[in-house]
Structure 1
Amino acid sequence: MREGDFSQTTGAPALRLIGDVESVSEAERERTRVIRENVTPDAVVRNFLRNEKVAEPMQYIHFQAHAQRKWFPVWFYIDQTKLTVNGVVEDLRGQVATYPSSRDALVNRLAGKDAAFRQSTGKAEALRAKLVRGEITAPTDIDQDVVFAAAVQALPTTVKPKDLETIRKTLLHCLDRAQGADARSSNRRGSIYRAACRLDELLYAKKT
């Protein structure tokens, strides 16, 4: 253990450094990287789309019992807890939920009684077929974002994992364009959130 004093300058208090100073390599910082932000609707979806490890995954699951929206990724966070699905369900049932209907909807999803899958039609159905074939073209405006999110919600289990990861990154850009406070942006976020849930099911539900 080393102890030293920094020289004091006029108007600034002296600081005492106690202990050893060790540099942290870039590789070590990356290995231990976690997200320690407040849990918000955007954070729950965005961390999933970024494939970020979070410090307390159960808090991202508990949050969903206190949010009005009912479509948030959950399997991704369960995978990080290393708990069983039954264990998470029992934990949720023991929560005092701000929105019991949201909590119950989440429990139903975990029990296999509901899913984010929704059949697509029109332009979204045509795009869904392309996504299934691995023909992924990123949308470039908000109208295309709506069609893309609807197509993602209809994806089947046969989509290749590498294509799902490409779609995941693309959906993040859609979310970035849906940050307005107007009703149209809010509705678009809702569609993107549900699309994220469909990706969450396809990527992680079988792992838990």
Structure 2
Amino acid sequence: MIRALIAGRCRVHLEALSAAVSQSRAVEVLGTASHRVDILARARDDSPDIVLIDATMTDAVNIVRDVRQHAKGVKVVVITVGETETEITQLAEAGVAGYVLPDGSLDDLLIAIQSAARGELYCPPRVAFSLLRRVGALAAALSQELAAETHSPFDALTRREREILGLVDEGMSNKEIARHLGIELATVKNHVHNILEKLHVHRRINASTWYRRGGFHLRLEA
């Protein structure tokens, strides 16, 4: 049998919920608690399998987090959860194992309790949608960060700029590069200016150092 502690701010609500849940042969209600200190003490001392927490309680997210931290192995199911993405994701990050919305039925609550006891996450479709959207946003942000970390300024250089950078690295002056490539001196100067700007350096020697340290001379030779 699943042992449950019910926590909330309204005594009438707690007593009604306790009576309703107790009708199930699968759940034993150990009692109720209304204050944070009592909730944490009973979650730790009474060893419930599940703590039901009313999400409308003041500081509900931190209560969930504290229960998960100080009562090892205890699962938390939150009831009367709002449908804002912020609240849902904050509760998920705090470690809840089940959600029941304000319009959820007693059957929904019992399913959430039993699912949590089995180590499964129970959430209505609307909550699942919010969680998936949040996961998608986090994945997209992580992908952008990884792309930024792996992106090299070398990739921003044109083929001609890479060629000229290689000649700069060989120690050629702008005039020598112009003669070597058969292009105007002004064109070379413009390319060198663009190279320095794209590499975020101010001097030719810095561009050459960056070029060597990155092994890009080997890439061109290959």
Higher relative contact order (CA 8 A, sep 6+): 1
Task: Please report the TM-score for the alignment, with normalisation by the length of structure 2.
Answer: 0.25
Which structure has the highest strand share of the two? 2
More helix by share: 2
CA radius of gyration, larger in: 2
